């Protein structure tokens, strides 16, 4: 069966099961075909990208790519990131990105490569009513500083990289819960669980009350197994091992 919305033949629930979770799923990537496909099928509630994803996708013209995405996605949030390392240039880039459409969120890294805080710039942009997505946050100190820089009535996304926190051997849930509590003082701000590593993270994020989670197309495809009977899944796994061994012509 297909990845988007169909029911598995033996009772499991595919990606349509995500709609039963109290969280907004944003697609994270820079492959235009995947973005268009996800948008047209109504799978996600928004889109994010970044310079690394764009480079991996072979994009060389930033503005042309952004305009093509916005030609299709006109009614859902789309985050595009500044890429300068100087705050004055970041401000100029932010203004250009903001002008592309009312559904654009401008992504600002929490610091530049020198470790200098972007919070003064974040505050200035928020004061101009620009929708912001603050990215690359990994510590509670950074969450507090960003929250202090944002304005209560200006839409914003606070992207905490829970997956990268987990990569360091730390449980990200306590920090995510503390972040959510802190952001209650900012009614227009939403907490985003960034860089999930497995489908379970979507459930974890939803259960703790996180507003948004970013999901790559590959991870979204794994959600086809939501609700699947575990013994059926076991049999599918055995069949996969067997079929691959036959195709490879192995012998002992």
Query: Checking phi first, is residue 5 left (phi over 0); if not, alpha (psi -120 to 50) or beta?
Result: left
Indicate which residue of 107, 114, 228, 239 is catalytic. 107
Is 107 in the active site?
yes
Give the active site residues. Answer: 107
């Amino acid at each position: 069966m297909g990845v988007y919305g169909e029911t598995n033949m033996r009772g499991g629930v595919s990606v349509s099961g995500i709609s039963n979770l109290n969280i907004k799923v944003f697609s994270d990537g820079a492959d235009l075909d995947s973005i268009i496909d996800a948008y047209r099928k109504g799978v996600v509630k928004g889109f994010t990208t970044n310079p690394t994803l764009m480079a991996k996708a072979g994009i060389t013209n930033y503005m042309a790519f952004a305009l093509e995405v916005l030609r299709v996605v006109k009614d859902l949030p789309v985050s595009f990131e500044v890429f300068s390392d100087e705050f004055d240039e970041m401000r100029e880039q932010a203004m250009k990105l903001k002008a592309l459409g009312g559904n654009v969120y401008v992504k600002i890294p929490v610091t530049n490569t020198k470790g200098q805080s972007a919070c003064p710039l974040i505050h200035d942009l928020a004061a101009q009513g620009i929708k912001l997505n603050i990215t690359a946050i990994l510590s509670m100190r950074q969450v507090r500083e960003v929250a202090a820089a944002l304005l209560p009535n200006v839409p914003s996304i606070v992207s905490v990289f829970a997956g990268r926190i987990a990569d360091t051997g730390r449980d990200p849930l306590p920090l995510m819960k503390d972040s959510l509590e802190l952001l209650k003082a900012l009614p227009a701000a939403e907490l985003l669980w960034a860089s999930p590593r497995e489908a379970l993270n979507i459930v974890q994020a939803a259960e703790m009350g996180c507003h948004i989670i970013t999901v790559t197309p590959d991870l979204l495809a794994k959600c086809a197994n939501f609700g699947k009977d575990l013994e059926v899944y076991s049999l599918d796994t055995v069949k996969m091992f067997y079929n691959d061994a036959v195709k490879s012509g192995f012998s002992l």
